[in-house]
Amino acid sequence: MLVKKIYIYIKYIFLFFFITLLSVFIFFQLERYLTILELEKNSQILDTRLGQIEYSDSLGEGPVILHIHGSPGGYDQVFGIDKKYKVISPSRPGYLRTPITSGKTPVEQADLYKALLEELDIDSVIVWGTSGGGPSAIEFAIKYPETTRGLISFEALTGAWLEAKEIDKYFLTASDFSLWFSLKLSGLFGKRNLVSFVVPDASNQNLILSDEVSFKELKKLIWTIWPITMRQAGFSNDAEMFFDLNLDLQKISSPTIAIHGTKDINVDISHSIKLTEVVKNSKLHRIIGADHYMSFSHRNEISEVVEEFIENL
């Protein structure tokens, strides 16, 4: 009788874990499917003379901003500026639905952006390059000064990226399920735990957690790296292209501003210092105490700086 009870007990435990795992797997597959549907709904694919490119258009008014996302990323990594300006945000090659064959090098990607703007009949833009989007944004400004009304180098990479962080190495190899599970688990342990997933500095964590809008926007950003498998080709290409990156910065002739946090450990502020030292019509705005996620911890200051720059162009 005791053996039979133990057997039934074990059977129910096994059944419980089986149903739990099956439910988690089904929920993961459903969320992935719905996320991809949403991504496809909010963007368009355009056939240009240089290949296909995915992009979103904020349909706002005023100056046109060509927003070039970081690594890993996609067209969906636009925060705040799409409410104030007309923002064209492409997915760089290898990210989401822009094929890697549309352009591997920063110069090739810059040419692709130009081809996109030609198709959209846009002849003047303010180019905004964030982090790993910096190199191709800079190459665009160098090669197409007549189209570049201004350049915003936002915590951007302007030279070689010699060593990937541990989290970057994880992103290069992670599965969609493992990242999804990690993010879900982080969220279960509270807001601070989720914020600390990407923001290491406690003071910046506090700034984000004290502002509900900033927290929601950061949470949105964290989830824009997922599904990670739709972004790994681009991220892997970035790692290859950026290792011995050499940009001819002194050829930038458009008005330029570099905005960078003084505590950025992902892209050191020396990248922005280097840029503004060699570009004649440029200035550096330091965000004191900010790290690589200053868009959320210091969003009001950044908004004021960007608005002033654009108004004075």
Q: Is residue 178 part of a domain?
A: no
Same domain, 108 and 235: yes
Q: Is residue 271 part of a domain?
A: yes
Label residue 80 by pLDDT band (50, 70, 90).
confident
pLDDT digits (tens, 9 = 90+) for 299-312: 999 999 999 999 99
Cα dihedral across residues 305, 154, 268, 140: positive or negative? negative
Q: Which of 13-27, 129-143, 216-230, 253-267 has the lowest mean pLDDT?
A: 13-27
Q: What is the pLDDT of residue 22?
A: 84
Q: Which of 58-72, 157-171, 218-232 has the lowest mean pLDDT?
A: 157-171
Label residue 65 by pLDDT band (50, 70, 90).
very high
Same domain, 84 and 134: yes
Q: What is the pLDDT of residue 171?
A: 87
Average pLDDT over every residue of 221-238: 96
CB 138 within 8 Å of CB 115:
no
Say which CATH number the domain at 304 has.
3.40.50.1820
Number of domains in the chain: 2
Same domain, 56 and 139: yes
Q: Domain range for residue 32? A: 1-41
CB 283 within 8 Å of CB 172:
no
CB 188 within 8 Å of CB 24:
no
In angstroms, the CA 223 to CA 227 distance is 8
Q: Is residue 66 part of a domain?
A: yes
Same domain, 5 and 131: no
Q: What is the pLDDT of residue 41?
A: 97
In angstroms, the CA 285 to CA 269 distance is 10
Q: Write down the mean pLDDT value for the chain.
A: 93
